[in-house]
Amino acid sequence: MFKDSYEYILESIEKSLNSIDVSLVNHGVDMITEAKQIFVYGSGRSGLVGKFFAMRLVQLGLVAYFIGETITPVVNKGDLVVLISNTGRTQSTLLVESIVKRVGAKVIAITSSAKSPLAKHADLTFVIRYEKEKGELAPLGTLFEDAAVVFLDSIISSLMNKLGQTEEDMRRRHAIWV
């Protein structure tokens, strides 16, 4: 069962990410590097995915926060907010989107639903498509969440290149310098 599961998950991630338009990725990289501050939000496991990404952004030397943490400042015009929701209908995520759009921030949405309210109001949407899950091999939102982690981690190399950052530069900004 274990081997069947990881093979299914890896195959699904590859199919999902192969469907993403690379020119959109380049546009997303530009939005990230042009933002004054970057904020990330997701609920549940999508939130964990977001925290992974926010940490890497900080390690790149960017000003990044996860919305909902006690030390997160207010979002302003000129900022970018990355919102992650499998369905694109998670109420807390839609509330965040509504608030940040009202203050003039840009929004990047990461969702599996191109027709969702989240996607509809975002400035840029990445749709992570996946086939109906085999619940016994990848329960609940596993395929979306895993594909989102790999997608966001894959963007990091483009950001490193654009910002002229090396792994050594990032290591110096690691919470526990190694």
Rounded-to-5 percentages of helix, strand, coil across the chain? 50, 15, 35
Active site residue 133: no
Q: Residue 80 CA to chain centroid, in angstroms?
A: 12
Q: How far apart are CA 104 and CA 87, in angstroms?
A: 24
Which of these is catalytic: 7, 11, 34, 145?
A: 145
Residue 110 bridge partners (DSSP): 84, 126
Comparing CA positions, the residue from 39, 115, 118 lying closest to residue 80 is 39
* Catalytic center residues: 145
